[in-house]
């Protein structure tokens, strides 16, 4: 591992949380007795996402999943449950907290977490940098006095209170006989304040010991401690200051036997002991948490394993290939396995050979063409991932408008006679549903020319494979494709529009029922190509009426034409999407751009909307835009240093004449906006190579102090300028994920090795019963591939171990990277954080 520095290794943390349900929240104090509840997810005290509000229940089903990259260090992952009262105010019912180091215990499985009471004294985050020493001071009268000096240098990552943070530190010297308090000045609008203030606390009548060391005779050192607490200063007299956290430093843990011995360390802020009795809290949450922390090495560390995977399509038999073995060891997590695999092959331009090889193998095992590609396999999950990667714009253009209309119209569409509400007419409901399905169906079948090229090439590959194996089945050319585009793309998107970014909020129960009926009908229409009957073996009889409305040849022919077009390649007409597609929108704060020389540069809330054409902002959603920035005018998108305006989560959109400064609502949202803005502008020919990480304020750049507003940037941009989708994929990150999966399931690789050895020795008659259904066609070549995989992952893991050792050795306990706290003070490590200084100046 020699030569691999810390800067060469990238750390990427990812969280995927599924908030299932909550139960036993108890009755509300209101007149109804039930509660309107929602759940939030927070990194420490910063909320990053929240669920929809579930109304009128004591046991809410949320059923939502969130996935995001973690953009900053954190200590605790927290889930808060809130209730909306009659005045629509939010009151916290309780929380469930998991420390970062304990997340692995709950990885990938459902767990019930009991809610605990939320106490302001326990809501802390951040760390403080403190310096403590015993100082010998000679007074004017010649008397020597010994004092403990406490220097508060700085803090980082403090909590934001009501949108801001005005912190100060309170330093308390506590002995059995007395308590003395001192505090720093207030630092305005910052979560990373720099104090650098020193306070002195006198020790009573020190006397020299016989061995010329100093002992404190009147103070019980074992019971003496320094407390440094952080507070947010309230700007209003009637509101008390807010506690942000504290640290306790017992003097007994420090080597105070010699004057001028310096202890300087970072401490994690801790909750304080509450004198108030804890309130009972009821209820629990069912959560599924997936947390990954990948340490990504430079590309050449992955070359051997990468090459082994990339040559898989050419391996004969395919069962002996690295990809097929990868699918076997990850058979219970195929969706998770497909994501890095597809991205890796897409990056290297080898996706279609992979799809073709997997399809040929899967089709060869099929006997019924009507069930082709309907199960969950590595192939189907790979195709699903391709559609997720490339088909989101296509979905927005094709069906978003109709989804919006359905959610806003609120027309009754229930056709199950047992569920029709009083006052509704079954025939009118049927007609409403028919109109919605007709519009949706027409939009889908007329959208073939917009289908992304990559998707069409994959569909063409699947169709060709099916035709080769079932040449006498006429409809197999359609079933091979319809199961993906209708069953796995359009139908799920209609059923759950929020999961596909088609809506910001989940639909209400009535609208959700309408979308369910439409989704079922569209799915059935997608199967018309291979059936003369619309609803064979119908399980839900009430659906027969709506199916009968579309049991006509014109609909079947439209589906066939659509499937033929999207599974063809080399078409002369363009596939580009000219219609603006909404990619992301939200309410954020922006600083006025100063488009006139003397224009105001204040901060205002604006509704931002990004499409594939431009970035706009308006006073509120739905109003005409106040400003429009074409995508081709975006030259760079980068974070903005907090010192620029004393505001967190800010980023800048650099244009030819000026930069637009924007504050997101939290760190996750800021990263999502930076990522997607970079993605849509990545091919701009005039993109910058350098930028200013701080703002231009008071006639100079705060970062480099350059006075010219048009001066070239002083810092390289954080990302390159990818030319196409292949370069937009981080292949090293995908290889690290695949390596991690192989390593996690190393025991399965070893079992496959044993099976191959038995197959080779006993000629297909293993001596012990098999524990897997994996078919080994060629034991020798399969064993060779397994050995190569094992060699690659063992070598790579050894590199990781050496890196972790070097990192641990270079990271001192008590440093900003490894602050003291949480796991208790370790005397031997704390001794390492003490810096000896001989002598020192007398005061």
- 204 with 318, same domain: the answer is no
Residue 508 and residue 404 share a domain: yes
- Predicted TM-score (pTM) of this structure: 0.78
- Assess if residue 834 is contained within a domain: no
Q: Looking at the structure, do residues 92 and 194 belong to the same domain, yes or no?
A: no
Domain final residue pick, 689, 716, 743: 716
Q: Are residues 178 and 314 in the same domain?
A: no
Q: Please state the three-class secondary structure of 791-827 as a single string.
A: HHHHHHHHHHHHHHHHHHHHCCCCCCCCCECCCCCCH
| Tokens encoding 342 | 């597809």
Instruction: Kindly report the CATH number assigned to the domain that includes residue 87.
Output: 2.60.40.150
Domain limits at 433?
Answer: 391-567
Question: What is the pLDDT, as a whole number, of residue 759?
Answer: 66
Helix axes 509-526, 553-566, angle to 10 degrees: 80
Residue 831 covered by a domain: no
**Chain Cα centroid distance, residue 699:** 38
- Judge if 440 and 563 occupy the same domain: yes
pLDDT value for 821: 81
Q: Which residues of the chain have pLDDT under 70?
A: 1-7, 27-33, 86-88, 139-142, 204-220, 236-239, 254-260, 274-281, 528-539, 569-581, 593-601, 719-728, 759-774, 822-843
**Is there a single domain that holds both residue 251 and residue 331?**
no
pLDDT at 153: 94
pLDDT at 370: 79
837 found inside a domain: no
* 581 close to 499: Cβ distance less than 8 angstroms: no
Q: Does residue 131 sit in the same domain as residue 163? A: yes
Whichever domain contains 430, its CATH number is 1.10.506.10
CA distance linking residue 180 with residue 8, whole number of Å: 48
Number of continuous H segments (helices) and E segments (strands) in the chain: 18, 31
Beta bridge partners of 654: 636, 659
Query: Is the domain of 812 the same as that of 734?
Result: yes
> pLDDT tens digit string along 596-648?
554 456 889 999 998 878 899 999 988 999 999 998 899 999 999 988 888 88
Catalogue the long-range contacts made by 56-61 (C-beta closer than 8 Å, 24 or more residues apart). 56/32, 57/25, 58/23, 58/24, 58/25, 58/26, 58/27, 58/34, 59/21, 59/22, 59/23, 59/24, 59/25, 60/21, 60/22, 60/25, 60/35, 61/20, 61/21
- In this structure, the answer to whether residues 497 and 560 fall within a common structural domain is yes
Q: Note whether 401 and 548 are same-domain residues.
A: yes
Indicate whether 835 belongs to any domain.
no
Residue 374 lies in a domain: no
Q: Name the residue among 353, 342, 324 with its Cα closest to residue 391.
A: 342
What residues pair up with 295 in beta bridges, in sequence order? 11
Which residue, of 716, 744, 761, is where some domain finishes?
716
Task: Check residue 204 and give its pLDDT.
Answer: 59
My answer on whether 245 and 319 are in the same domain is no
DSSP per-residue string spanning 619-684: SSTTSPPSEEEEGGG--EEEE--GGGTT-SSEEEEE-SS-EEEEE-SSHHHHHHHHHHHHHHTTT-
pLDDT for 224 equals 84
Q: Are residues 592 and 551 in the same domain?
A: no
Tell me whether residue 590 is in a domain. Answer: yes
- 836 inside domain: no
How is residue 589 written in tokens?
Answer: 């704060």
**380 assigned to some structural domain:** no
Count structural domains, the chain: 5
Helix axes 426-445, 509-526, angle to 10 degrees: 50
Q: 10 and 303 in contact (C-beta within 8 Å)?
A: no
290 and 107 Cβ atoms separated by less than 8 Å: yes
């Amino acid at each position: 591992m020699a030569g691999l520095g810390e800067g060469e290794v990238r750390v990427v943390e990812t969280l995927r949380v599924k908030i299932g349900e909550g139960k036993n929240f108890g009755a509300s104090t209101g007149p109804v007795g039930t509660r309107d509840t929602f759940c939030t997810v927070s990194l420490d005290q910063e909320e990053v996402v929240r669920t929809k509000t579930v109304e009128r229940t004591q046991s809410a089903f949320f059923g939502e999943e969130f996935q995001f990259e973690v953009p900053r260090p954190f200590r605790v992952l927290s889930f808060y449950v809130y209730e909306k009262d009659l005045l629509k105010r939010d009151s916290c019912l309780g929380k469930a907290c998991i420390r970062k180091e304990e997340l692995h215990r709950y990885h990938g499985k459902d767990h019930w977490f009991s809610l605990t009471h939320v106490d302001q004294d326990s809501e802390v985050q951040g760390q403080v940098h403190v310096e403590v020493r015993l100082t010998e001071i000679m007074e004017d009268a010649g008397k020597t006095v010994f004092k403990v000096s406490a220097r508060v240098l700085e803090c980082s990552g403090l909590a934001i209170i009501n949108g801001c943070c005005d912190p100060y530190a309170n330093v308390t010297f506590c002995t059995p006989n007395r308590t003395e308090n001192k505090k720093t000045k207030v630092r305005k609008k910052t979560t990373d304040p720099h104090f650098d203030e020193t306070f002195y606390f006198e020790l009573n009548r020190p006397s020299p010991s016989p061995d010329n060391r100093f002992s404190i005779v009147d103070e019980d050192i074992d019971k003496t401690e320094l407390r440094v607490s952080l507070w947010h200063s309230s700007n209003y007299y009637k509101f008390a200051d807010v506690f942000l956290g504290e640290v306790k430093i017992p003097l007994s843990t420090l080597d105070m036997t010699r004057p001028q011995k310096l202890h300087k360390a970072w401490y994690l802020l801790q909750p304080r002991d509450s004198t108030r009795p804890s309130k009972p809290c009821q209820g629990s949450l069912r959560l599924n948490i997936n947390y990954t922390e990948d340490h990504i090495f430079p590309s050449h560390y992955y070359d051997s394993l990468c090459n082994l995977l990339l040559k898989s399509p050419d391996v004969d038999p395919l069962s002996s290939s690295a990809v097929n073995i990868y699918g076997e060891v990850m058979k219970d997590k195929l969706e998770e396995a497909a994501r890095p695999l597809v991205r890796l092959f897409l990056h290297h331009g080898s996706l279609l050979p992979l799809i073709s090889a997997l399809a040929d193998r899967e089709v060869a095992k099929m006997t019924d063409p009507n069930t082709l590609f309907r199960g969950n396999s590595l192939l189907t999950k790979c195709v699903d991932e391709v559609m997720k990667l490339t088909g989101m714009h296509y979905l927005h253009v094709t069906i978003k408008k109709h989804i919006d209309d359905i959610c806003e119209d609120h027309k009754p569409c229930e056709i199950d006679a047992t569920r029709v509400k009083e006052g509704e007419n079954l025939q009118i409901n049927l007609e409403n549903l028919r109109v919605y399905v007709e519009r949706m169906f027409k939009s889908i079948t007329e959208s073939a020319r917009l289908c992304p090229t990559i998707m069409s090439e994959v569909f063409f590959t699947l169709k060709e494979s099916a035709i080769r194996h079932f040449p006498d089945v006429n409809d197999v050319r359609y079933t091979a494709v319809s199961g993906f585009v209708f069953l796995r793309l359009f139908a799920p998107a209609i059923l759950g529009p929020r999961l596909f970014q088609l809506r910001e909020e989940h639909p209400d129960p009535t609208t959700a029922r309408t979308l369910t009926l439409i989704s079922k009908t569209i799915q059935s229409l997608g199967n018309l190509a291979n059936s003369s009957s619309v609803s064979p073996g119908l399980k839900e009889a009430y659906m027969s009426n709506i199916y009968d409305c579309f049991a006509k040849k014109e609909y079947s022919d439209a589906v066939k034409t659509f499937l033929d077009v999207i599974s063809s390649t080399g078409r002369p007409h363009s596939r580009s999407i000219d219609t603006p597609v909404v990619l992301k929108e939200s309410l954020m704060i922006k600083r006025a751009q100063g488009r006139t020389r003397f224009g105001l540069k204040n901060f205002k809330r604006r509704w931002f909307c990004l499409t594939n054409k431009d970035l706009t902002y308006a006073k509120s959603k739905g109003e005409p835009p106040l400003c429009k920035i074409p995508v081709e005018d975006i030259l760079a998108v980068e974070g903005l240093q907090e010192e620029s305006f004393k505001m967190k989560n800010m980023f800048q959109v650099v244009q030819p004449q000026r930069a637009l400064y924007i504050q997101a609502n939290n760190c996750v949202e800021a990263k999502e906006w930076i990522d997607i803005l970079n993605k849509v502008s990545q091919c701009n020919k005039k993109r910058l190579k350098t930028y200013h990480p701080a703002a231009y304020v008071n006639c100079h750049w705060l970062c480099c102090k350059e006075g010219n507003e048009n001066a070239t940037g002083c810092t390289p941009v954080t990302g390159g300028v990818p030319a196409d989708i292949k370069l937009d994929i981080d292949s090293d990150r995908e290889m690290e994920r695949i390596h991690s999966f192989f390593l996690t399931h190393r025991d399965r690789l070893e079992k496959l090795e044993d099976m191959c050895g038995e197959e080779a020795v006993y000629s297909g008659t293993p001596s012990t019963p098999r524990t897997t259904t994996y078919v080994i066609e060629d034991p020798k070549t399969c064993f060779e591939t397994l050995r190569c995989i094992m060699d690659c992952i063992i070598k790579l893991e050894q590199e990781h171990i050496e890196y972790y050792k070097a990192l641990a050795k270079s990271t001192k306990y008590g440093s900003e990277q490894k602050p003291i706290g949480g796991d208790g003070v370790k005397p031997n490590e704390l001794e390492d954080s003490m810096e000896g200084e001989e002598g020192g100046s007398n005061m």
